[in-house]
Structure 1
Amino acid sequence: MHPSKITSNLPVSDIDAAKGFYTDFLGLEVEEFNLGWVARFTHESTGANVQLVTRDADAPVDSVLSVHTPDVEAAFEEAQRRGYEIVFPLRTESWGVRRFFVRDPDGNVINIVQHAD
């Protein structure tokens, strides 16, 4: 696989309640997106960011990392070839990403994702 970016998925109970801490206090003033259950806040000049997740909208489990790749199909095939547990099948989501979840050897769930852009 060729990861282009890795984002940690920080669990929060309420994105709107957490938003002020990350935007006002930590200075991550740019809301890149907010789907209500997942949002990313970024510092405009440094690019530092955090992704907050309450509960995945479609998957039966939550992921701890999102690994962005330009070829999610190849990553999916490689994960299967290696015998890794696929905990959420490869699919295209309504918000425009194509993704699957795989479990690492220690039980962590990783979101492997390709954005349409």
Structure 2
Amino acid sequence: MVDHADTQTAKPVITAAEPQLFVSEINAACEFFTRKLGFTVAFTYGEPPYYAQVARDVARINLRCVAAPLIDGALRDREQLLAASLTVATAAEIKALFLEYQAAGVDFFQTLRREPWGARDFIVKDLDGNLLLFAGPAE
């Protein structure tokens, strides 16, 4: 007979999160993420494609095609409603990432700045107006 009192169940550990961005055209979104932000296309799905995943390092972003914007663009910009937050480990990396994106001609919603809570961050606006926060430590 098995003694259940001696059995301990390990607590589940969430190892990743994959935000889903709503886009108007999968191929154009994939091209933006690969050419401008240095991601690779993990997969596309459908014919024509209506779903995809892009990846850079351990970050994954899912892209879902929708017929019309799901949120008012003026409200999103005014309230700075972020679609995703991506982080790097060091102050040098956040600066290097900003400079990489600047050289690629990325449209910044907010340029690199130091925040009162001790982070340095910037916000990129993708082709569909999604706001992507990139952050790292200030020092």
TM-score, normalised via structure 2 length: 0.40
More strand by share: 1
Structure number with larger C-alpha Rg: 2
More helix by share: 2
TM-score, normalised via structure 1 length: 0.47
